[in-house]
Structure 1
Amino acid sequence: MPLARSAETGLAPDAQDLSGHLGTARRAAHAAGDFLRTRTAQRADFRSKGVDGDLVSDLDLGAEQLIVERLRADFPDIPVLAEEGGFYGATGSRWSWMVDPLDGTNNLAIGLSAYVVGIALCRDWQPVVSVVHEPETRRTWSAMIGAGMQGPVVHSQHACRNRTVVAWTQGYGVLRTDPQASSVKILLEWKTHRVLPLWAPLLGWVMLARGDIDAFVGYRPEPVDLPGGLLLARESGVRVVAWDGTAYEASFDPGSVGGAADRSFIAARTDRLGGLVGLVEQAASMAPHLAELASDRATALLTR
């Protein structure tokens, strides 16, 4: 029986067609999770993979190899775009796997076990299957487009639940002095109860989907883990819009025009969404003043 169409994407794949893909993705994520869980207590080799602060380790590479081998074994005609190794297989297919073998490497590098494994299947660069696995707790969340999210949901009942808790993510290429990012973060700190810079975007998406936080705001986010998180959120009833409040229509094609700027998002339940869109609009008017202040500060330091 065909799945119902997603209200936001309009795609309607067949459930039978995707169930095999979902099963393979779950098994691959669990294998990678077992690998990571047994090795995080050991000394890992963390090293920079660029000038923008991102890290890679032997843990990322080992988990990625396990995942890619399993995906390619079951679906050899579907190429894989992975965080560390790039493309595996021929490009040009309507279908593609997108893999983040260890989302949270920077957390592990400082001894913080806040990380997950993420696998998404895209058709025409839009997500139709998603699996996120948390190795430390052995919990898994998954979704097929139109079929809802599956996985443990434990809604927090702490005292601040009547106040907005927001996760934040930004791309590694975003500078600390970026006035647009800085202005939004300042207002989020002022006007919400708590802002979580998790350094593991898929963990933020899972927390939003299961109801532990109220919103997730992203500025020029990295592309590989975004499709899987987006599908989990949408299938749990979360609305996702662009920073101007319009429909979120970002492409995850690495060759698409526009790039990271077009991927900025606001994700929240309907009752919190309007306020956050207004906050981002207000921040836009602050950005030029922050840029001017940053420039003046830099000039003062250089002339000392």
Structure 2
Amino acid sequence: MHPMLNIAVRAARNAGKVITRSMEQLDKVEVESKGTNDFVTSVDIAAEQTIIETIRKSYPEHTIIGEESGVLTGSDDNIQWIIDPLDGTTNFVKGIPHFAVSIAIKVKGKLDQAVVFDPIRAELFTASRGKGAQLNGMRIRVNSQKELAGTLLATGFPYKSKQHSNAYMAMFASLFQKTADMRRAGSAALDLAYVAAGRVDGFFEIGLKPWDTAAGELLVIEAGGLVTDLSGGHNHTQSGNIVASNSRLLKEILKDVRPHLGTALS
């Protein structure tokens, strides 16, 4: 295992311990609103601090970009750690056991290492650039489905960007007519990990942040898949609008998505 990935795994497991301990006493978790339909808990903050401390012990010079802490600049900006300490906060707050720790490492602007850790199921998804993707040490691959018929797609509602609700629902309806079923589980990091592991055939969502998708994106790519924006380009990190699947099925998903983009989502 790459040394930085080893530290990322350690950091994710440490954060997972913070989260699972807190899950046993949800009534004591403090919840605050940081924006419309956007919540942060004392557990998000504690888990992120645990991750930062773990990284800093081994790599004090690296830059860290955290969902709660913002940008913590180090002397070496060529290496950036992008962390979401608790992806699926709403699930966590409600006691729904589906959330994850997401940690990605960029080297000179390119995704290099990734960890998505589900502490409830003890499932560790990892990827290293050019070395493939694994689930608990076993190689994973995206599904090879070529058409939408019979597929299971994952998605997320644009709850922070409700101005795009009509466009999103049109995309959903168009795809739903052709697929076997759709899933909205509440954690983009796990949705992308599930695409990589072949548990779902594809994923699309509007209005995500880099820390939601960075680790999952590398997982999908290293599992043989593709990640694009809603028009098939490479602006998903900036726009937050994302599609992930195998290359053939991704083209089919885009055919149903593109007619509903409009100027606001192009």
Q: TM-score range with shorter-chain normalisation?
A: 0.7 to 0.9
Alignment pair present for 1:37 and 2:37: no
Pair 1:172–1:89, CA change in 2 (3 A) = farther
| Whole-Å separation in 2 of the counterparts to 1:176 and 1:195 | 22
| Whole-Å separation in 2 of the counterparts to 1:115 and 1:136 | 8
Contact 2:228 2:242 in 1 (8 A): yes
| Whole-Å separation in 2 of the counterparts to 1:249 and 1:51 | 24
What displacement does 1:226 show? Answer: 1.3
Q: Report how many residues are paired.
A: 256
Match of 2:192 among 183, 205, 208: 205
Alignment pair present for 1:134 and 2:114: no
The ranges of structure 1 where at least 4 consecutive aligned residues each deviate by more than 4 angstroms after the TM superposition are 152-155
Pair 1:173–1:39, CA change in 2 (3 A) = closer
| Whole-Å separation in 2 of the counterparts to 1:91 and 1:178 | 42
Contact 2:51 2:85 in 1 (8 A): yes
What displacement does 1:105 show? Answer: 0.7
Tell me the TM-score normalized by structure 1.
0.76
Q: Aligned with 1:26: secondary structure? A: helix
| Alignment match, 2:80 | 96
Q: Aligned with 1:224: secondary structure? A: helix
Q: Aligned with 2:232: secondary structure? A: coil
| Alignment match, 2:253 | 276
Match of 1:145 among 120, 123, 129: 129
Kindly indicate which of the two structures has a greater share of residues assigned to strand. 2
| Alignment match, 1:180 | 167
Contact 2:236 2:242 in 1 (8 A): no
| Alignment match, 1:218 | 205
Structure 2 stretches lacking a partner, 5+ long: 142-147
The Cα offsets for residues 161-214 of structure 1, whole Å up to 9 and x where unpaired, read as 961111113565311653322321222333322222222110101111100000
| Alignment match, 1:62 | 46
The Cα offsets for residues 63-101 of structure 1, whole Å up to 9 and x where unpaired, read as 111110010110011011111111223477121101111
Bigger-Rg structure (1/2): 1
| Alignment match, 2:177 | 190
Q: CA RMSD in A?
A: 2.6
Contact 2:104 2:113 in 1 (8 A): yes
| Alignment match, 2:35 | 51
